[in-house]
Amino acid sequence: MNPLVLIPARMAATRLPNKPLADIGGKPMIVRAWEAAAASGLPVAVAAGDPEIVQAVEAAGGRAVLTDPDLPSGSDRIRAALDAIDPNGAHDVVINLQGDMPFAGPSISRLCAELMAREPSCDIATLVAPEAGPEDRANPDVVKAVLALDGTGRSGRALYFTRSTLYGDGPVWRHVGVYGYRRAALEAFCAAPPSPLERREKLEQLRALEMGLSLWAAVIDEAPLSVDNPADLEAARKLA
């Protein structure tokens, strides 16, 4: 395998406009995300929707490629960046690391790549973490993953993702929006229209399941902070 980490980012975030350039401890958020990914030892580039993001990443010594700002999703953005960076297909695995996770440790990217190397049937790898508390179960903003865990209890095939409340005994896995795609799976996914379940739950990964792609998830101990609103940004600044 020859993985490449791509970090999609655009300025027009609804809840926190211009958030890729939000200052966290003297650095733009997207630069912190790029630094965390680069610490994995894997090649990394930012798939930027705006020239300001490219300038910030390049000023920090990173690599960024400008993509169409009107692309509908992060998956489409990394597909466009992949075609620009690697038109000959040298990279057969792409890790989609979110630009609003400024403190995602280097193991985050490696875990997706390791899971795909270990599970040949895995088309798309992702991550889950234990629920932060019982309030997560009924929170529609917390996406839950339903897994068929393997014997280790640290990874498993994803059966479904939902915003709904999950009942009964057993762990509730909180989905962490990091993905590893085999290149062919990414191309097929981006070529397909939004699926009925995807539109119903507003969860892009359900398109992949409806397409028959195999999704696997690795368990991590704690979800990294995702900066989605001003309160999250203040929490991130306290961690910097």
CA 63/CA 38 separation, integer angstroms: 10
- Predicted confidence at residue 169, as pLDDT, reads 82
Query: Is 80 exceeded by the pLDDT of residue 15?
Result: no
User: Over the chain, what is the mean pLDDT?
Assistant: 94
Distances (CA, A) of 210 to 5, 77, 121, 194: 25, 21, 16, 10
Query: Is 80 exceeded by the pLDDT of residue 14?
Result: no
- Predicted confidence at residue 118, as pLDDT, reads 95
Would you kindly state where each structural domain of the chain is located, as residue ranges? Answer: 3-227
Query: Is 90 exceeded by the pLDDT of residue 170?
Result: no
- Predicted confidence at residue 157, as pLDDT, reads 97
Per-residue pLDDT tens digits for 69-115: 999 999 999 999 999 999 999 999 999 999 999 999 889 999 999 99
Query: Is 90 exceeded by the pLDDT of residue 49?
Result: yes
**What is the greatest pairwise CA distance in the chain?**
51
Q: Which two tokens stand for residue 141?
A: 């903003």
Fold of 3-227: Spore Coat Polysaccharide Biosynthesis Protein SpsA; Chain A (3.90.550)
Instruction: Tell me the pairing of strands 144-149 and 155-162.
Output: antiparallel
Radius of gyration of the chain (CA): 17
Higher-confidence position of 207 and 152: 207
Residues 6+ away with beta carbon under 8 Å from 8: 46, 47, 49, 74, 75, 77, 78, 81, 96, 98, 99
Residues 6+ away with beta carbon under 8 Å from 103: 32, 36, 224, 225, 236, 239
